[in-house]
Amino acid sequence: MALRNIIPPDNSYQNLSPVFGMPSTSQQWQAHAIMLQKLHKIRGIGYWQKSLTTGDVYWSDMVYDFLGVESSRLIHDQEDFVKLVHPHDRKKVINAWQELEKTGFTDIKYRIIQPNGDTLWLHEIADNSAPDDPGILLSTLQDITDHKALEKKLKKEAITDDLTGTFNRGHFIKRLRQAFSHYLRSGQNAAVLLFDVDHFKSVNDTYGHVVGDKVLQQVCQLFKERFRETDVVGRLGGEEFAVLLFEVTPDAALAIAEEIRKMLAKKAFTTDADATFNISVTCGVAHFTEDDPTEESILRRADQSLYRGKHNGRNQVVGESNLS
Ligand SMILES: Nc1nc2c(ncn2[C@@H]2O[C@H](COP(=O)(O)OP(=O)(O)OP(=O)(O)O)[C@@H](O)[C@H]2O)c(=O)[nH]1
């Protein structure tokens, strides 16, 4: 049986003089309990208590709010609660509670799926190091959904290029490093395509920086449409973009780069004044090899191929097999 209604529903506390220090009478205790409940509501804190002798559990009203469940629908025991935890987090919660019974401490974050399908993040913290009653375990819960959403937004911003929405240089290099160490362990091959818009300075000079920005955004849009979700596209800086392709043969990587080059060469770009113009790109391609000491050397080889393409007249794809 769950321990409900510890706090009386009446307003008897209103007739009491203010409670300073620890309450001594039962009325003062009731007033104290109601005040605590109010503070919990204001600060968005819930709690649960478990009797270690009987196993009975009490959930505060705030917990029912978190769960999006009417408090009339009693949560009988911890198993009942766990059913509302996100399936991926259930094991974590069960383990944390087992640890809590052993040590008196816990500090975990997990997701709740409310009956309407909304996801809520909870932060559960318990410290039972100095309990008033050693037979009672107390744990607190706080809604941290907004905090988690902000954290996710900031994490995304930290790895994203503002102008184009692709990954920024730092994140692309990180993904390249991960892919390279995975290749060394598992042999899963990958290729880097390094694209650079040709004579981009003259686009800016002729049509203005705003149009130049739009060109970069549209180039990225085409990348997003053509490449797979699993491929990694990043803007390394200025008008230079890199793409990491997995499980491609050297010939396939060259063919994909060539397809992109042709698509971009055919694309008509327009200005607000309805002027139409075309651009071209040069691309250098490099495959991972066991001779590469680090991921930087793969990027360097792609860059050398790109440089050759620029030198040989631009608007072309250069791989190591077709270097002249
Ligand atoms: N509009 C816009 N231009 C940028 C941005 N970043 C760099 N650029 C410009 O891109 C141009 C790059 O010029 P260069 O490095 O000379 O290269 P390029 O004109 O493309 O010539 P090649 O690469 O040799 O074909 C410079 O004018 C930069 O100002 C950006 O975010 N937006």
Taking only the tens place, the pLDDT of each residue in 141-179 is 999 999 999 999 999 999 999 999 999 999 999 999 999
Residue whose Cα lies nearest atom 4 of ligand 1: it is 238
Is the distance from the beta carbon of residue 284 to the nearest atom of ligand 1 less than 6 Å?
Answer: no
Question: Which of 120, 150, 180 is the last residue in one of the domains?
Answer: 150
Name the pLDDT band for 22 (thresholds 50, 70, 90): low
pLDDT for the residue numbered 21: 58
Closest of 296, 295, 319 to residue 308, by C-alpha? 319
Position 2 in a domain: no
Please check whether residues 195 and 240 belong to one and the same domain.
yes
pLDDT for the residue numbered 12: 41
The b/e string for 114-153 (b: 16+ C-beta within 10 A; e otherwise) is eeeeeebbbbbebebeeeeeeeebbbbbbbbeeebeeeee
Which DSSP helix (H) or strand (E) runs through 247?
A: none
Q: What is the DSSP letter of 25?
A: S
Q: Are 48 and 18 in contact (CB under 8 A)?
A: no
Question: Which residues lie below 8 Å from residue 302, measured CB to CB, with a gap of 6+?
Answer: 192, 193, 194, 242, 284, 285, 286
Position 4 in a domain: no
Is the distance from the beta carbon of residue 47 to the nearest atom of ligand 1 less than 6 Å?
Answer: no
The b/e string for 15-32 (b: 16+ C-beta within 10 A; e otherwise) is eeeebeeebeeeebebbb
Residue whose Cα lies nearest atom 25 of ligand 1: it is 198
Position 187 in a domain: yes
The rounded radius of gyration (Å) of the Cα atoms in the chain is 30
Please state, in angstroms and rounded to a whole number, the distance separating the CA atoms of residues 83 and 78.
9
Which pairs from 5-10 meet CB under 8 Å and 24+ separation? 6/33, 6/58, 7/33, 7/34, 7/37, 8/33, 8/34
Closest ligand 1 atom number to CA of residue 198:
25
Taking only the tens place, the pLDDT of each residue in 255-305 is 999 999 999 999 999 999 999 999 999 999 999 999 999 999 999 999 999
Per DSSP bridges, beta strands 240-246 and 269-270 are unpaired
More confident residue, 309 or 12: 309
Instruction: Find the mean pLDDT for residues 69-84.
Output: 83
Distances (CA, A) of 311 to 283, 304, 314, 318: 12, 10, 7, 11
Token pair of 283 as six digits = 């691309």
Is the distance from the beta carbon of residue 212 to the nearest atom of ligand 1 less than 6 Å?
Answer: yes
Instruction: Find the mean pLDDT for residues 232-252.
Output: 96
Instruction: Find the mean pLDDT for residues 209-222.
Output: 97
Q: Are 86 and 77 in contact (CB under 8 A)?
A: no
Taking the centre of ligand 1 as the mean of its atom positions, its distance from the CA of residue 235, in whole angstroms, is 13
Position 292 in a domain: yes
Please check whether residues 118 and 182 belong to one and the same domain.
no
Which DSSP helix (H) or strand (E) runs through 58?
A: strand 57-59
C-alpha 96: how far from chain center: 23
Taking the centre of ligand 1 as the mean of its atom positions, its distance from the CA of residue 132, in whole angstroms, is 69
More confident residue, 74 or 99: 99
Instruction: Find the mean pLDDT for residues 181-188.
Output: 94
Is the distance from the beta carbon of residue 219 to the nearest atom of ligand 1 less than 6 Å?
Answer: no
Q: Which of 157, 239, 240, 295 is catalytic?
A: 239
Q: What is the DSSP letter of 7?
A: S
pLDDT score of 15 more than 60: no
Please check whether residues 178 and 270 belong to one and the same domain.
yes
Please check whether residues 140 and 249 belong to one and the same domain.
no
0.80 exceeded by pTM: no
pLDDT for the residue numbered 321: 66
Please check whether residues 125 and 243 belong to one and the same domain.
no
Please check whether residues 43 and 107 belong to one and the same domain.
yes
Closest ligand 1 atom number to CA of residue 210:
1
Helix (H, G, I), strand (E, B) or coil at 110: strand
Please check whether residues 170 and 210 belong to one and the same domain.
yes
Closest of 282, 280, 175, 181 to residue 233, by C-alpha? 175
Question: Which of 87, 122, 150 is the last residue in one of the domains?
Answer: 150
Is 258 known to be catalytic? no
More confident residue, 28 or 321: 28
Name the pLDDT band for 320 (thresholds 50, 70, 90): confident
Domain count, the chain: 2
pLDDT for the residue numbered 10: 42
Residue 103: CATH number of its domain? 3.30.450.20
Position 182 in a domain: yes
- The residue range of the domain holding 290 is 160-318
Position 103 in a domain: yes
